[in-house]
Amino acid sequence: MFAGKLILSRFGAPTAKRAVGLGKLFTAKRFAFSPLVLNGVMRRSYHENVIDHYEKPRNVGSLDAKSKDVGTGLVGAPACGDVMKLQIQVNKDDNKIEKAVFKTFGCGSAIASSSYATEILHGMHLDDAMNIKNKDISEHLKLPPVKLHCSMLAEDAIKAAVKDYRKKADLAD
Amino acid sequence: MNVIGRSRKFISKLFSRKTRSIQSKSCYQFSARYFSIGPREPHSRNRNASVNRVNQEMGVFTGKDNHTLSCCDKCTEECEDQFRFFCEGCKYLKDPSILDSVDHFELFDIKEDYDIDIEKLDETFYQLQQMFHPDRFTMTGDEDLMENSTTYSSFINNSYKLLKDDLERAKYILKKKGYKALEEGDQISDIEYLQQIMEIREEIESSETQEELNVLKADTLLKKQTIVEKVSSLFKAEAYEEIIETLVQLRYTIRILEAIDKREREFI
């Protein structure tokens, strides 16, 4: 409804009445929570942590998926058509993650979630990595409720990567 | 021509006078009770003569004679046909809340099927927009009416977009049949398919020339066409579970096309 109201200004003659109406809209209480109005389009601003990870994603890249000490997690969210690949390189002796990289094609929240995930995975023990919950990621990034599934995707990717590594390690033994 | 003729007929149905004898009477009685005989209610809006004249000349559907907007509240309850968006009695736009129960296919008077009559959809869309576009109601100077027409107009827009979209249309039909497709939190077990998608997305990202993209685009468009045809035949066979699986591919294919378009814009 609100979007409709805003679009209204793009059509039709910009009468004085409408201008007043729009002014009222923007100062109304329900719009008081930090939205940015750009070119007449409403944009809810994301938390700075999301924007930071989105603009400067950490640890983007790939590891050799065939290598024995690398675990690969490949997951997808059919609802939005996102695909996320997260890879970990594990030290065999102490089961700690030496390196974590990701590659995500999806929305900003999915990219930020996987970027932050690789950041916390560094130096982490595999058991601790399995205990990472999507809440840990979403709370740091302050994701809005509609984007919680992006952090869930990152959690799934971590679990898939650890499982993949363990499967390989078991086979090698 | 036939299509146009049929659509016109349908549009006129929206304002049909079938039940007018009963409806308008009750409308009139209601408003007369409030505005002609009794004292004026505080919420009544008696437009002055010049505005009324302008409205009549413009052919705007709004207050007529002594009719005022509040009589529509009465009509909404009594009107049997939920698709009559204008009040029978005074031709005033009804409260947009009736849109909640509107079926998108019925709105455009097309058969509920995955294969739709695009020509008719377009034609009806333009006609509906002609009637409900906010520009038509600017002259009335009635803010409620303008706001309502905006709601109607954007509903028609969204409805049109939904029906035109190969994916959304399928999801809508499935939803009506009680199936859920592409829900949040759904997962893909087909890792090989994800790998394919990953490779294509990487290829798009690393593409350097327009020619490379053109090849990819042609491929993907062909793929999309095949998937849409498959979905269509699955709908005919009523194989809904299979449709849900196929829609995942459609979703990813559409995303790939979007990524190609985005990459193309970066070249310019």
The yes-or-no verdict on residue B223 having pLDDT over 50 is yes
Q: Are residues B15 and B116 in the same domain?
A: yes
Contact B147 A5 (CB under 8 A): yes
Q: How far is CA B174 from CA B154, B167, B180, B199, in A?
A: 23, 11, 7, 31
Domains of chain B: total: 2
Q: Are residues B195 and B67 in the same domain?
A: no
Q: How far apart are CA A129 and CA A90, in angstroms?
A: 12
- pLDDT value of residue A38: 46
At residue B240's C-alpha, the angle toward residues B158 and B187, to 5°, is: 80
Q: How far is CA A51 from CA A6, A55, A57, A140, A157, in A?
A: 26, 6, 9, 12, 21
Q: How far apart are CA A121 and CA A130, in angstroms?
A: 10
Q: Are residues B17 and B65 in the same domain?
A: yes
Residue B170 is assigned to a structural domain of this protein: no
Q: What percent of chain B has pLDDT over 70?
A: 66
Q: Are residues B154 and B218 in the same domain?
A: no
Q: Are residues B78 and B159 in the same domain?
A: yes
Read off the pTM.
0.69
Q: Are residues B46 and B91 in the same domain?
A: yes
CB B63 within 8 A of CB B92: yes
Report pLDDT digits (tens) over B130-170: 888 888 888 777 787 888 889 989 999 999 999 999 999 99
Q: How far apart are CA A112 and CA A101, in angstroms?
A: 13
Which residues of chain B neighbour A12 with C-beta distances below 8 Å? 134-135, 138
- pLDDT value of residue B84: 59
Other Cβ atoms less than 10 A from the Cβ of B110: the count is 18
Reading the block at residue A112, the tokens are 């930020």
ipTM: 0.71
Instruction: Give kind and range of the element (H or E) at residue A41.
Output: strand A41-44
Q: Are residues B241 and B135 in the same domain?
A: no
Residue B114 is assigned to a structural domain of this protein: yes
Residue B108 is assigned to a structural domain of this protein: yes
Q: How far apart are CA A164 and CA A144, in angstroms?
A: 31
Which residues of chain B neighbour A3 with C-beta distances below 8 Å? 154
CATH code (residue B252): 1.20.1280.20
User: How far is A18 from chain B, CA to nearest CA, in Å?
Assistant: 9
The yes-or-no verdict on residue B18 having pLDDT over 60 is no
Q: How far is CA B265 from CA A107, B207, B261, B268, in A?
A: 18, 13, 6, 5
- pLDDT value of residue A154: 93
Q: Are residues B23 and B147 in the same domain?
A: yes
The yes-or-no verdict on residue A35 having pLDDT over 50 is no
Q: How far apart are CA A144 and CA B167, in angstroms?
A: 26
Which domain does B80 fall in, by range? Answer: 3-164
CATH code (residue B31): 1.10.287.110
Residue B181 is assigned to a structural domain of this protein: no
Q: Are residues B217 and B137 in the same domain?
A: no
Residue B137 is assigned to a structural domain of this protein: yes
User: How far is A77 from chain B, CA to nearest CA, in Å?
Assistant: 6
Residue B174 is assigned to a structural domain of this protein: no
Contact A105 B185 (CB under 8 A): no
Q: Are residues B160 and B262 in the same domain?
A: no
Q: What is the DSSP letter of B92?
A: P
Q: Are residues B141 and B218 in the same domain?
A: no
Q: What is the mean pLDDT of chain A?
A: 78
Q: How does residue A97 score in pLDDT terms, banded at 50, 70 and 90?
A: very high
Q: From the list A4, A74, A81, which residue is nearest B191 (CB)? A: A74
Q: How far apart are CA B236 and CA B252, in angstroms?
A: 23
Other Cβ atoms less than 10 A from the Cβ of B31: the count is 23
β-pairing, A41-44 with A82-91? unpaired
Report pLDDT digits (tens) over A44-86: 678 888 888 888 888 899 999 888 899 999 999 998 899 999 9
CB A159 within 8 A of CB A73: yes
CB B162 within 8 A of CB B104: yes
Q: Are residues B151 and B46 in the same domain?
A: yes
Report pLDDT digits (tens) over A132-173: 999 999 999 888 888 888 999 999 999 999 999 999 888 877
